[in-house]
Structure 1
Amino acid sequence: SPRRSELLRVAGLDFNVEAADIDERIQEGEVAATYVQRLAMEKAQAIWDRHKAEDRDELVVLGADTTVVCEGELLGKPINQSDARRMLEMLAGRTHQVLTGIATVSSRGMFSDVEITQVFFDLISEQEMVRYLASGEPMDKAGAYGIQGYAARWIPRIEGCFFNVMGLPLSRSIALLAKAQEGESETQPVSRLAAL
């Protein structure tokens, strides 16, 4: 995710991004919080395992996954424009939740957490809906919107972490990274990989 990478750079972290090839389908009976936490853990573990031939004493891997939940339905990235419209019509005039699972893997083990933010959405006029869909902006975002883009006009308030809605709860992620490398010298170089 370009947005996650941008947030980590804003936070002053130096890292490399690697894609984790995992099955992202939801399992039967799996609730949203369990789902995003599992995917974050699987992403981080996949990258950790990829580097098993290396000396991993200084390696820390961060994995993350985000979903939007409205009326009990998990909304991932839309598959096409009509799917994006369906999602936005569902969100309009309602409150929904954004959940991000985060996980770190290091020689100290795996640590994971889930951040949940409540997002309040205004109604969306047909004219604005058409304009937004035509922009292409909804297509690579869970729930078909980004809080940092055009859709910000429909969000009067949130309860929780703003950065979580962008895709990565920064404060909680930094805390997990610190836990993953706890006890290491401040001068010791740490190699960070992000499976975003």
Structure 2
Amino acid sequence: MPSFIYLASQSPRRRQLLDQLGVRHELLLPNADGDVAEDAEAIEVPLASEAPARYVQRVTGLKLDAAVARRARRGLPDAPILCSDTTVAWGRTIYGKPEDAADARRMLGELSGRTHRVLTAVALQHGETRSVALSVSKVTFATFTPAQIAAYVDSGEPMGKAGAYGIQGPAAQYVSHLAGSYTGIMGLPLFETAQLLRSAGMLRD
């Protein structure tokens, strides 16, 4: 049984959730000193007319491909590699990470008073075997006032988060209904992730 996994994510929330499962992990991040430069942002650009589910699964696969190559290039010990990506969608509209404060205000204004989906794909590479899973949840926001949006954006909280919000932060006070996986909305659905890790021998029943 492997003694640890690599986590190919800079998200502290995903690290926290793996700790919750009791899984030892090491970070496998791009653009380390002396390594080949990687354009991680380019991977996240949606294709024309791409459906949200297809998008998040494709991006996760590409991120895992890059992580597998990264481990081999750096000559690191072999171990399972876990990768995940989250996106927010209303209909077929994909809401990624906001480019700036104005973009965050736009996203929150469009999601205000509506029910949107949060899709998180998870992929695990173990040797030659790749296992994948998709978590889809629904989140309903109360109607924001312009002042509420402005205050939230001014806090800096929306930056770096799909849909310009984090469910684990102050934005939770505006969630009137949630259906699905809370940890999936955070960025790593623990039920699906645990299933993948069991398949790699990292968790036992």
Normalised to the residue count of structure 2, the TM-score between the two structures is 0.82
How far apart are residue 29 of structure 1 and its match? Answer: 3.5
How far apart are residue 6 of structure 1 and its match? Answer: 1.3
State the AA in 1 paired with 2:166: G
1:89 has 2:89 as partner:
no
CA distance in 2: counterparts of 1:98 and 1:153, whole angstroms: 17
Counterparts in 2 of 1:41 and 1:120: CA distance versus 1, 3 Å? same
Q: Deviations over 1:88-128 (max 9, x none)?
A: 01111000000011100011510111110000110012221
Q: Secondary structure at the match of 1:114?
A: strand
CA distance in 2: counterparts of 1:10 and 1:99, whole angstroms: 21
CA distance in 2: counterparts of 1:96 and 1:45, whole angstroms: 29
* Cross-structure match for 1:11: 21
Aligned residues: 182
CA distance in 1: counterparts of 2:15 and 2:101, whole angstroms: 26
Assess if the C-alpha contact under 8 Å between 1:148 and 1:166 holds in 2. Answer: yes
* Cross-structure match for 2:136: 116
* Cross-structure match for 2:33: none
Normalised to the residue count of structure 1, the TM-score between the two structures is 0.86
CA distance in 2: counterparts of 1:71 and 1:35, whole angstroms: 13
- Where do 5+ consecutive residues of structure 2 fail to align? 1-10, 31-37
Q: Secondary structure at the match of 2:55?
A: helix
Equivalence map 1:16-31=2 (5 Å): 16-20=26-30, 21=38, 22=40, 23-31=43-51
Q: Secondary structure at the match of 1:158?
A: strand
Assess if the C-alpha contact under 8 Å between 1:70 and 1:97 holds in 2. Answer: yes
State the AA in 1 paired with 2:176: P
More displaced 10-residue stretch of structure 1: 91-100 or 27-36 = 27-36
State the AA in 2 paired with 1:152: A
State the AA in 2 paired with 1:90: E
Assess if the C-alpha contact under 8 Å between 1:100 and 1:115 holds in 2. Answer: yes
State the AA in 1 paired with 2:46: I
1:163 has 2:173 as partner:
no
1:2 has 2:2 as partner:
no
Counterparts in 2 of 1:133 and 1:109: CA distance versus 1, 3 Å? same
* Cross-structure match for 2:7: none
Q: Secondary structure at the match of 2:158?
A: helix
State the AA in 2 paired with 1:87: M
Q: Secondary structure at the match of 1:148?
A: coil
CA distance in 1: counterparts of 2:76 and 2:186, whole angstroms: 33
